[in-house]
Amino acid sequence: MSRIEQLSRREFLQRTGKAGGGLVLALTLTSACQPGREDAADASVVAPNVYVNVRDDGVVEIYCHRSEMGQGIRTCLPQIIADEMEANWDRIKLIQALGDEKYGDQNTDGSTSIRQQFDLLRTAGASAREMLIAAAAATWGVPAADCVAREHAIHHAASGKSAGFGDLVSAAADMDVPEDVSFKSPDEYRYIGKSMDIIDGFAMTTGQANYGIDTVLPDMLYASIERCPAVGGTVKSLDDTATKSIAGVTAVLQLPDATSPPLFNPLGGVAVLAENTWAAQQGREALDIEWDYGANAEYDSASYREKLMQTSRDAGRSVLNRGDVEVAFGDAATIHEAEYFAPHLSQAPMEPPAAAARMTDDGGCEVWACTQDPQSAQQTVAGVLGIDKSKVKVNVTLLGGAFGRKSKPDFIAEAAWLAKEAGHPVKVTWTREDDIRHGYLHSVSAQCIKAGLDADGNTTAWRHCTAFPSIGSTFDATATGPSAGELGLGFVDNPYAIPNMRLEAGDATAHLRIGWLRSVCNVYHAFANCSFVDELAYLAGADPKDYLLRLLGPPRHVDPTAEGAEYGNYGQGLDTHPIDTGRIAAVVEEVADMAGWGRELPPGHGLGIAVHRSFLTTVGTVAEVSVSDAGKLVVHELWTAIDAGTVINPDRVKAQMEGAGIFGMSLALHGEITAKGGAVVEGNYDSYPVVRMNEAPAAINVHIMDVDAPPGGVGEPGVPPVAPAIVNAYFAATGNRVRELPLRNAGLA
């Protein structure tokens, strides 16, 4: 997870843009004859060009430092800056930023782009506004307090004078950057909180948008890479005779062996370079390779599952303690216990990983890639090539989906290494099978939950053990247990008002590369937590929605650190983004009302409810399901309520929740990666299906809660409650419990 640092507005303006630190003020004023280049230098420059560049023709250039993968970030970030500037939307020019530490954190993951930088981007816009106001006031000889910015101009009501932004560039260049600025009030917003069409929408829908896979460079070769089926395996012998006889094949290169830990380095293997993609792939198929599968040769997901389940049953290391669980179990009228299992998952974006690279005359490297994290790509490429990262230029293309996969730049490093070895620009394109079999998979998990209930059905004790291979194993070969950061993703941040609680973590060894997938550990933690709450409700003879509210208890703020847990709240303080059970309960009530909870249903139908807080946002989901005559689960409709605090673009939030519904359904119904003999079995959408149109619900209904609070995340939080809502609805319809994903393993999909 990216390191997040809290900054005041004053500190924000004083920072110098060191990597991993805060962000730098983003105002430059230049002549229109100066192109909006990252290295632009001009006597009129006030500060390093980071976010905003006002030209003397009135055009406001805004640099987007995050990656667009369909979530609309290239629209939402400019909305914030333009609103505080009072810039007109039709006078905005958007420029995609290169990978550069001057932007601070550019990693587009963890739903951080808005929630982490809302005030910082508002400050950038407001600072530009105040400098333009100061310039106008100085020009007219009037107090700045009597001037106002409105609709791309500065106005002085008393004299009736007005000047456009472009007219003030020369004077504003002499103004100091303000140390403190005030923000507009919400009732003054022009763009923030308003639904706006995405900037790239027309290009995307007309085929004009350029993704990583579309990159073509002069004199470019195309590469296809055969990798060992088992992670960490190496080449024992290679016969490339047949490959070299194929027309269009220009070279066969063996990549360096995979590293341990894998990090984001290439996986090794054998690359076929050719004049076109088809020849490269045909040449790859003709390779005759004998592999040494290495340490993971015996990995079998079926047998591993049993070991992991046993780990979850055993006592693990305690990560949160409240009250005395054992005494409470002894006093309980009823004990209930359940085990939950979720398999490995693949992000499987529609566009597989793709990158093009070329070496430059100064010994550097320039790449074009569908990357979520250009700075990580810069660092990884520099390490693989043995050059300084300042010599690596990373151009960010549009991403055809990502879901966490494209924050790992191994595929970019492959292209760079091959370009250096081949002496030509090279594009590496992973096949669908490459992506599913050789990516950074979402971790397999096993969980065991035990609860004690009193005679009135109240839950008095809760013991929960989670076990899964850690993402940390990608960076540390000795890592065997869940990290504190992973346990903060839906586990130690348990909101229930249960007087006695013990949360435990069990160790597990990774045999595949483990990475983050949309909502990360929240996916399986929400599946277990929300499913188990539903089980307790029926055991207590209570309505599931009412029992969920009973467990949430009275409105209060929950602090896991007060009970011994390590909990970072994703870099945001619990004072600004508390775990607020009142807000969680409000989401439960809202989504239940949306779905008509308690209404009479058609025969064989059932409603299920789930709520989960992740990435500082609470999402509640209700699913209505039935089972067809053929015995297949049918999801008729989904309802979702989201409390994400302040929302920038409601239409984008709605779209993200709709997409999360389909993504979550795909995981619930079909998602499973298995391994046998060290190798991943699944390879394409036929064996790793996603929800098709004929399976999609008739409607996904979304309500955005009107909450005056700092922004939370949006891209990830919609996924976790979908699977438990579906399985809870399935129980309501049939009386049968499912505690393992995907549902197709139970013959339901």
Q: Can you tell me the mean pLDDT for 241-268?
A: 98
Q: What is the bridge-based pairing of β-strands 500-506 and 269-274? A: unpaired
Q: What is the pLDDT of residue 12?
A: 44
Would the pLDDT of 575 be above 70?
Answer: yes
Torsion angle (degrees, nearest 10) of CA 361, 367, 368, 372: -150
Would the pLDDT of 179 be above 90?
Answer: no
Token pair belonging to 674: 């298995």
The model's confidence at residue 43, banded by pLDDT at 50, 70 and 90, is very low
- Mean per-residue pLDDT of the chain: 93
- DSSP summary character for residue 179: S
Residues 283 and 690: their CA atoms lie apart, in Å, by 30
Would the pLDDT of 23 be above 50?
Answer: no
Ranges 40-54, 194-208, 493-507, 712-726: which has the least confidence: 40-54
Q: Can you tell me the mean pLDDT for 600-610?
A: 98
Q: What is the pLDDT of residue 20?
A: 34
Would the pLDDT of 732 be above 50?
Answer: yes
Would the pLDDT of 470 be above 80?
Answer: yes
List, as one string, the DSSP characters of 499-553.
SEEEEEEE----SS-B---TTTTHHHHHHHHHHHHHHHHHHTT--HHHHHHHHH-
The model's confidence at residue 49, banded by pLDDT at 50, 70 and 90, is very low
pLDDT tens, 510-533? 999 999 999 999 999 999 999 999
CA distances from 240 to 220, 279, 290, 321, 365 (A): 22, 14, 12, 60, 29
The model's confidence at residue 13, banded by pLDDT at 50, 70 and 90, is very low
Token pair belonging to 124: 């950038």
Q: What is the pLDDT of residue 588?
A: 99
Which CATH topology does 212-295+353-429 take? Answer: Aldehyde Oxidoreductase; domain 4 (3.30.365)
Amino acid at 594: M
Q: Can you tell me the mean pLDDT for 385-413?
A: 98
pTM for the full model? 0.93
Q: Can you tell me the mean pLDDT for 31-50?
A: 42
Q: What is the pLDDT of residue 630?
A: 92
Would the pLDDT of 46 be above 80?
Answer: no
Torsion angle (degrees, nearest 10) of CA 204, 210, 214, 215: 180
The model's confidence at residue 30, banded by pLDDT at 50, 70 and 90, is low
CB 746 within 8 A of CB 738: yes
Q: At what angle do helices 544-552 and 581-595 cross, to 10 degrees?
A: 170
Which CATH topology does 301-345+440-746 take? Answer: Aldehyde Oxidoreductase; domain 4 (3.30.365)
| 335 or 102, higher pLDDT | 335
pLDDT tens, 537-548? 999 999 999 999
The model's confidence at residue 28, banded by pLDDT at 50, 70 and 90, is low
| CATH match of 9-204 with 3.40.50.80 | no
Token pair belonging to 329: 């179990």
Q: What is the pLDDT of residue 29?
A: 57
Would the pLDDT of 294 be above 80?
Answer: yes
The model's confidence at residue 279, banded by pLDDT at 50, 70 and 90, is very high
Q: Can you tell me the mean pLDDT for 148-152?
A: 97
- DSSP summary character for residue 475: T
Residues 80 and 646: their CA atoms lie apart, in Å, by 12
Would the pLDDT of 397 be above 70?
Answer: yes
Q: Can you tell me the mean pLDDT for 240-264?
A: 98
The model's confidence at residue 127, banded by pLDDT at 50, 70 and 90, is very high
Would the pLDDT of 160 be above 60?
Answer: yes
Residue whose pair of structure tokens reads 């990608």 in the numeric block: 474
- Report which secondary-structure segment, H or E, holds 464: strand 459-467
Residues 676 and 674: their CA atoms lie apart, in Å, by 7
Q: Can you tell me the mean pLDDT for 451-473?
A: 98
pLDDT tens, 196-226? 999 999 999 999 999 999 999 999 999 999 9
Residues 77 and 124: their CA atoms lie apart, in Å, by 11
Q: What is the pLDDT of residue 177?
A: 86
Q: Can you tell me the mean pLDDT for 70-96?
A: 96
pLDDT tens, 320-352? 999 999 999 999 999 999 999 999 999 999 999
Write out 398-455 in H/E/C secondary structure.
ECCCCCCHHHCCHHHHHHHHHHHHHCCCEEEECCHHHHHHHCCEECCEEEEEEEEECC
Would the pLDDT of 39 be above 80?
Answer: no
Greatest alpha-carbon pair distance for the chain in Å reads: 84
pLDDT tens, 651-662? 999 999 999 999
Would the pLDDT of 739 be above 50?
Answer: yes
**What residue ranges of the chain are covered by domains with CATH 3.30.365.10?**
9-204, 212-295+353-429, 301-345+440-746
Would the pLDDT of 10 be above 50?
Answer: no
Would the pLDDT of 119 be above 60?
Answer: yes
Token pair belonging to 518: 């949309």
